[in-house]
């Protein structure tokens, strides 16, 4: 049963029918989060990382108004290389479908569609969150409120340090979204290993995440999303001094250029990629590939445990 009209890639449809592990992947990082031409290559590498760890990748996006779970290579190429691909949050999905748009799904939209399609694990880079200045602008990503009502496990490297990390953690708490560190009690800051805040819980293995998922299921239907925060090892993070300089400069440009709304996140990411001459891009790619690998191992463990219990 699905709430959206969804078309499935053949491989994903087969895997879901057979109860094999599947990992959802978003397309906004491909169309809006990473520069061309790397974006398409990285999109394929992410899928390969999921496969290498034993699961089937289901990259989600919209082609000519059709919501697709498991884009094929031609469709992925179209979203990665065409101008005018819309950035779709949950609220955009119906209008985009009705108008026949091409669109890439954010964490929020990907989570909603994946859960609706029966996929329980999702890998991304960093979650959207509360923007700095949100007290004035009210700019808080719909990723947060969507996770409050969507039963899915999102593997991410925390939230980007371009956001207000502390406020984001507070909102996740209010919204009832579970947050566990993967082998850490510190919430990661995406480019940075340590985002500066403590976590209440940590898990040690994919099997332990699977145990959490089984417990949630047995406790009934009141659970929404679960964030598995997976930091980069400290020796792989972006140089913190370079990070701080780039962020200060990016925020100043944001204010100067009057960038607002859904353009904020892509603007700051693009600024990082150009200002660090690719260093942040390399870090960004590492984050996503590591998260894809961990998400796949969680999906495998969840399938194995469920058969075992």
Yes or no: say if 60 and 138 are a contact pair by the CB < 8 Å rule.
Answer: no
* Residue 250 in contact with ligand PSU, rule: CB under 6 A: no
Q: Which of 304, 270, 253, 271 is nearest to 33 (CA)?
A: 270
Q: Exactly one of 47, 140, 160, 262 is catalytic; which is it?
A: 160
Yes or no: say if 110 and 60 are a contact pair by the CB < 8 Å rule.
Answer: yes
Q: Exactly one of 26, 47, 140, 262 is catalytic; which is it?
A: 26
Cβ nearer to Mn ion, comparing 132 with 305: 132
Phi, psi of 286 (to 5 degrees): -60, -45
262 annotated as belonging to a binding site for a ligand: no
Query: Which tokens sit at 56?
Result: 């089937």
Q: Taking the mean position of all CA atoms in its chain, how far away is CA 259?
A: 23
Q: Residue 92: which of ligand PSU, Mn ion, none does it interact with, CB under 5 to 8 A by kind? A: none
Rg, C-alpha atoms of the chain: 18
143 annotated as belonging to a binding site for a ligand: yes
Q: Which of 28, 168, 184, 276 binds ligand PSU (CB under 6 A)?
A: 28
Q: Which of 8, 108, 130, 4 is nearest to 57 (CA)?
A: 8
- Catalytic annotation present for 26: yes
Non-local CB neighbours of 152 within 8 Å, separated by 6+ positions: 24, 111, 114, 115, 119, 120, 121, 122, 225, 226
Phi, psi of 211 (to 5 degrees): -60, -40
Q: Residue 189: which of Mn ion, ligand PSU, none does it interact with, CB under 5 to 8 A by kind? A: none
Q: Which of positions 133-152 make contact with ligand PSU (CB under 6 A)? A: 141-143
* Residue 230 in contact with ligand PSU, rule: CB under 6 A: no
Phi, psi of 227 (to 5 degrees): -95, 120
Instruction: Please give the residue ranges that form the binding site for Mn ion (CB under 5 A).
Output: 139
87 annotated as belonging to a binding site for a ligand: yes
Determine the residue with CB nearest Mn ion.
Answer: 139
Binding segment toward ligand PSU, per CB under 6 A, in 22-30, 147-155, 196-204, 222-230: 22-30
69 annotated as belonging to a binding site for a ligand: no
CB of 17 to ligand PSU, least distance (A): 28
What would the DSSP string read from start to end of 64-112?
A: TTEEEES--HHHHHHHHH-TT-EEE-GGGHHHHHHTT--EEE-HHHHHH
Cβ nearer to Mn ion, comparing 26 with 139: 139
- Catalytic annotation present for 133: no
By rule CB under 6 A, what string of x and - marks binding of each residue 113-132 to ligand PSU? ------------xx-x----
Binding segment toward ligand PSU, per CB under 6 A, in 47-55, 101-109, 221-229, 290-298: 101-109
139 annotated as belonging to a binding site for a ligand: yes
Give yes or no for a cis peptide into 37 (omega within 30° of 0): yes
Yes or no: say if 47 and 39 are a contact pair by the CB < 8 Å rule.
Answer: no
Q: Residue 107: which of ligand PSU, Mn ion, none does it interact with, CB under 5 to 8 A by kind? A: ligand PSU
257 annotated as belonging to a binding site for a ligand: no
Pairing of strands 66-69, 202-203: unpaired
Q: Taking the mean position of all CA atoms in its chain, how far away is CA 88?
A: 13
* Residue 32 in contact with ligand PSU, rule: CB under 6 A: yes
* Residue 269 in contact with ligand PSU, rule: CB under 6 A: yes
What is the binding site for ligand PSU (CB under 6 A)? Answer: 26, 28-29, 32-33, 106-108, 125-126, 128, 141-143, 262, 265, 269, 284
Annotated binding residues for Mn(2+): 139
Q: Which residues carry out catalysis?
A: 26, 160
């Amino acid at each position: 049963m699905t709430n959206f009209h969804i078309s499935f890639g053949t491989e994903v449809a087969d895997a879901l029918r057979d109860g094999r592990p599947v990992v959802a992947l978003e397309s906004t990082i491909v169309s809006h989060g990473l520069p061309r031409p790397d974006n398409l290559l990285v999109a394929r590498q992410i899928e390969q990382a999921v496969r290498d760890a034993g699961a089937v990748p289901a990259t989600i996006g919209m082609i000519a108004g059709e919501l697709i779970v498991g884009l094929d290579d031609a469709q992925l190429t179209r979203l990665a290389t065409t101008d005018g691909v819309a950035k779709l949050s949950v609220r955009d999905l119906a209008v985009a479908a009705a108008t026949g748009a091409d669109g890439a799904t954010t964490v929020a939209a990907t989570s909603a569609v994946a859960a609706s399609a029966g996929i329980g694990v999702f890998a991304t880079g960093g979650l959207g969150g509360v923007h700095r200045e949100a007290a004035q602008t009210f700019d808080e990503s719909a990723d947060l409120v969507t996770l409050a009502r969507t039963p899915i496990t999102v593997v991410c490297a925390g939230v980007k340090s371009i956001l207000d990390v502390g406020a984001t953690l507070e909102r996740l708490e209010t919204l009832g979204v579970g947050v566990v560190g993967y082998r850490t009690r510190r919430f990661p800051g995406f480019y940075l290993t340590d985002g500066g805040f403590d976590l209440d819980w940590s898990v040690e293995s994919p099997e332990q995440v699977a145990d959490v998922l089984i417990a949630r299921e047995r406790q009934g239907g009141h659970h929404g999303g679960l964030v598995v925060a997976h930091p980069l090892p400290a020796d792989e993070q972006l140089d913190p001094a370079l990070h701080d300089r780039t962020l200060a400069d990016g925020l100043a440009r944001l204010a100067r250029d009057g960038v607002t709304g859904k353009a904020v996140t892509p603007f700051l990411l693009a600024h990082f990629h150009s200002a660090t001459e690719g260093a942040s891009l390399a870090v960004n790619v590492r984050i996503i590939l590591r998260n894809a690998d961990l998400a796949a191992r969680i999906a495998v463990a969840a399938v194995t445990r469920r058969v075992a219990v």
